[in-house]
């Protein structure tokens, strides 16, 4: 994640950008979403996306644009 949120991160997961077909992307995307949901459950975090609350799932773009000082 970088910046001030590194210490707050339970897990950092990124989806690769080198898919050669839409089918390959969709297979990986389903696994990616399943992993994010499982990690949120494991950590006791809400399955929310890019909210103002520290708890929940954050996209890289959200973290880049909303890092604390």
| pLDDT tens-place string over residues 23-33 | 999 999 999 99
Residues 55, 20: Cα–Cα separation, whole Å = 34
The H or E element that residue 23 is part of is helix 22-43
User: Is residue 69 over pLDDT 70?
Assistant: no
Return the closest-CA partner of residue 16 out of 3, 43, 35, 41.
35
pLDDT at 4: 73
Domain that holds residue 41: 4-65
pLDDT at 14: 87
Tally the domains of the chain: 1
User: Is residue 12 over pLDDT 90?
Assistant: no
The whole-model pTM stands at: 0.82
């Amino acid at each position: 994640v970088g910046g001030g949120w590194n210490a707050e991160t339970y897990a950092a997961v990124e989806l690769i950008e080198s898919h050669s077909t839409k089918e390959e992307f969709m297979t990986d995307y389903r696994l990616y979403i399943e992993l994010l949901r499982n990690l949120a459950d494991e950590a006791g975090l809400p399955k929310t996306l890019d909210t103002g609350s520290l708890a929940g799932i954050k996209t890289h773009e959200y973290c880049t644009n909303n890092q604390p000082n």
